[in-house]
Amino acid sequence: MPSYISSTIFFLIKNNQLVLWDYAAHKQYSIPQAYLSRLLHLSQNPHEDPDKDHAIDHDLLATGLLAEHSFPVVDWGWDDLSKIFHFGTSRIDYAEQPNNTREWAIAYQAACDNAVEVPVPKLRHEAQGRKIINSIELDVPGTAQTHDLQQTLLQRRSVREFLQEAITKKQLESILYYSLAYLPSRSADVSKLCPEGLRDRRSSPSGGGLNSIDGYVYIRNVAEIPAGFYYYNPACHRLELISSDRDFSIGRALNGQFFAEDIPFGIFLTCQFDRLWWKYPHSRAYRVALLDAGHISQTVQLVSTSLGLGTWVSAAIDESCLEPVMNHLDRSAPLLFVGAGVSTGRDMPTALEELHANGESTQ
């Protein structure tokens, strides 16, 4: 059946108006009732061709919301929300397209100049006058210990069964430092063209050098460190206590993955979105946020693996469970959880294996 109406549109109420949003073309239109009625009519009569002589059809054809010869059918295997995200962030419309290296440099410098006219949104550790209830200073790990990268890559795997055994404070210090800390040796190599305040560098890449990913550390069983939720300050290599709520369930926060209850520690990687908005106003920057979290989660896993720990990562996060212990988050959201600990090495927990061994069905 032909489709003369674009499949990349949706409607929403915005500023007390009905708005049609063509998310593939990155255009929004205020829709009068007559235009809405015409679109409804055409959607309910799919064999009726748009009429170029019809005033409303003429306008809709000109915007690309209607097509004279039907739109191609897109075979999309996921839900509409993922489709909107994918196609809505698939391209960026620039006013000018550079044709050579010099034009690119001029355009990039102009974009940077425009960005720095507005103050950079502050990260949590940069906020003025914030109160720190309790903090734990962490030691910078020594550089004498070396690990074979190839062997670490071969050993890294996701495990889902952890032992009731504490990891050491030294192990935690190494994991946090090499995955989330601002490394002095890296910052010293940054180009002088980089503005002050954006010169900090981690071991993992960061979109625009903005370091928009923060680490909030869940600690259950780490030697010398009380259980609780902590903010990791990457500039000071320090844990700052947020909550010591003993009733918190990591299994519920991870959408019922209760095997995680035994994990000695984990990191919720959150993105402070306004840091990305500041430099990248286009929705494609949301992809950058996901990539940044992914880079750091892999680093956490590799460092943990090199220290003899099992690792596990998940994006199945119930944010409502985190609100009581992370209710200070503003324009931020957790994207990934990555944890580590002494493990049996099982990629499936015993409870799941017993279920299958007993022939029990979940159907």
Per-residue pLDDT tens over the stretch 260-301: 999 999 999 999 999 999 999 888 899 999 999 999 999 999
pLDDT of residue 2: 67
CA 39 to each of CA 25, 28, 60, 176, 205: distance values in angstroms, whole numbers, following the listed order: 18, 16, 9, 54, 46
pLDDT at residue 73, rounded to an integer? 82
Upper half-sphere CA count for residue 98 (Cβ side, 13 Å): 12
Q: Tens of pLDDT along 347-363?
A: 888 877 887 787 765 55
Q: Specify the pLDDT at position 133.
A: 83
**What per-residue confidence (pLDDT) applies to 329?**
66
Structure token pair of residue 27: 């255009």
Task: Give the C-alpha separation, 234 to 173, whole Å.
Answer: 12
- The pLDDT of residue 113 is 84
Burial 21-49 (b: 16+ CB within 10 A, else e): bbbbbeeebebeeebeebbeebeeeeeeb
- Tens of pLDDT, residue by residue over 152-179, are 989 999 999 999 999 999 999 999 999 9
Higher-confidence residue: 297 or 89? 297
Q: Which domains does the chain have, with CATH numbers?
A: 9-88 (no CATH), 114-351 (3.40.109.10)
Tokens standing for residue 143: 């550089």
- Residue 239's pLDDT band, with cuts at 50, 70 and 90, is very high
- CB-based contact 231:304 (threshold 8 Å): no
Instruction: Give the mean pLDDT of 87-101.
Output: 81
